[in-house]
Amino acid sequence: MEQEDSFRHKGLRKKLIDSVRLKGVSNEDVLEAMGRVPRHLFMDSSFINFSYNDKAFPIASGQTISQPYTVAFQTELLEVKKHHKVLEIGTGSGYQTAVLLELGARVYTIERQRQLFLDAQKNLGPLNYKPIFFYGDGYEGLPSYQPFDRILVTAAAPEIPQLLLNQLAIGGVLVIPEGGREGQKMIRVVKESTDNFQRSEHGHFSFVPLLKGKNN
What is the binding site for ligand SAH (CB under 6 A)? 63-66, 89-90, 92-93, 95-96, 110-113, 116, 137-139, 154-155, 208, 210-211
- Shortest spacing between CB 95 and ligand SAH, in angstroms: 4
What backbone phi and psi angles, to 5 degrees, belong to 52? Answer: -105, 20
* Of 27 and 123, CB closest to ligand SAH: 123
DSSP bridge pairs for 173: 150, 190
* Of 69 and 95, CB closest to ligand SAH: 95
DSSP-based three-state secondary structure for 129: coil
**All residues at 6 or more sequence positions from 110 whose CB lies less than 8 Å from its CB, including other chains:** 87, 88, 89, 90, 91, 134, 135, 136, 137, 138, 142
* Of 27 and 91, CB closest to ligand SAH: 91
- Shortest spacing between CB 121 and ligand SAH, in angstroms: 13
- Shortest spacing between CB 191 and ligand SAH, in angstroms: 21
* Of 7 and 61, CB closest to ligand SAH: 61
CA distance 212 to 184: 18
Residues acting as catalytic residues: 66
- Shortest spacing between CB 139 and ligand SAH, in angstroms: 5
CA distance 109 to 63: 16
- Residue 215 identity: N
